[in-house]
Amino acid sequence: MLVRSFTLKVETTSITRLPGPIGDLSALTMLDLGGCNMLTRLPDSICGLSTLTVLKLGLLAALATLDLSWCDRLVCLPESVADLAALTELDVRFCGSLEELPASIGTLAALTTLQASYCVSLATLPDSIGALAALTKLDLFCCEALATIPESIGRMTALTEFTITESHHLERLPDSIGDLRALRTLDLRICTALTRLPDSIGNMAALKKIHLGNCAELTILPDSIGNLKPLRALDLYHCSGLSHLPDSIGELAALRTLDLNSCTGLVSLPATLGQLTLLTRIDVDGCCELVRQAAAALSNSDGSGCSDSE
């Protein structure tokens, strides 16, 4: 007889891990782990539960890693996620039907990594996410429905890596992002609706890499970008809305690479780029002739080691 769907409830309190073959239960729609308070991890095979729509966690106080990636029909996580006091990593990558994260996620005091790439239905983040004081990595790669980032993100002071790419509705970042003083990498590639960066970005004293490639609506960079003294790489390729760069870019003393490939709206380069003695590469392929000439002049000037891409 063909089994269309079924549910599984595990009530034993002594089990520390689930058997690997659980991932073969292709018709499983609900998994109830409410009684497994000694469970420390879930098997990688759980990612194969493509029909899973309901997950009940209960009191899994010892669980350190929750990997639900590829659970494509999972619409939401239970509020009981708050009971996962030992959780350090939450992985919901490729959960294409996931629409929101529970407000209770903010109680996960031990959480250091939140991976939610390719959650294409995720439209908002709860304000409580700002309470994740231990979080160092937030990955929202290809969350194309995400339209806003809550102001509370500025409270995530341990964050070192923040990725939000291919969001076609995100028009701005909150001013509070400048409070992320430990952040080293900010990746905003293909955020096609993003028009500007907040002035507060200049407060991000540890920032080493900014990726803004294919942000076609980005029209201006704030003068405060010159305050980012440790910045080593600035990627602006295919930012066709940019017409100029601020003079303050010449204050980025640690800058080594500047990618302006196909910035077709760019009409000039600031003379202050000549001050950047560590700059080794400017990519101006696809830019107008004036920009390419300016880059060539920089590469030939004394005291500058930079070279264009040609």
Closest CA to 239 of 267, 269, 213: 213
Most confident of the following: 9-23, 29-43, 110-124:
110-124
Taking only the tens place, the pLDDT of each residue in 150-181 is 999 999 999 999 999 999 999 999 999 999 99
> Can you list the domains of the chain with their CATH numbers?
60-273 (3.80.10.10)
In DSSP terms, 115 is beta-bridged to: 91, 139
Name the percent of the chain in helix, strand, coil, to the closest 5.
20, 15, 60
Largest Cα span, the chain: 80
Of 19-28, 29-38, 68-77, 301-310, where does the model show the most confidence?
68-77
* pTM across the whole model: 0.84
Q: Is the pLDDT of residue 65 over 70?
A: yes
Whether residue 200 is predicted with pLDDT greater than 80 in this model: the reply is yes
Q: Where are the beta strands (DSSP E) in the chain?
A: 6-9, 28-32, 54-56, 65-67, 89-91, 113-115, 137-141, 161-165, 185-187, 209-211, 233-235, 257-259, 281-283
* DSSP-derived pairing of the beta strands 161-165 and 137-141: parallel
Over range 205-218, report the average pLDDT.
Answer: 97
pLDDT over 90 at 30, yes or no: no
Whole-angstrom Cα distance, residue 284 to residue 295? Answer: 7
Chain-centroid distance of CA 212 in Å reads 12
Exposed, middle or buried by CB within 10 Å (0-12, 13-18, 19+), for 289? Answer: exposed
Q: What pLDDT score was predicted for residue 6? A: 59
Residue 310: the pLDDT is: 47
pLDDT of residue 89: 95
pLDDT at 104 over 70: yes
**Statement: residue 14 has pLDDT above 70:** no
Residue 304 confidence (pLDDT) above 70: no
CB count, 10 Å around CB of 19?
10
Average pLDDT over residues 247-259: 97
Q: If pLDDT is split at 50, 70 and 90, which confidence band does 284 have?
A: very high
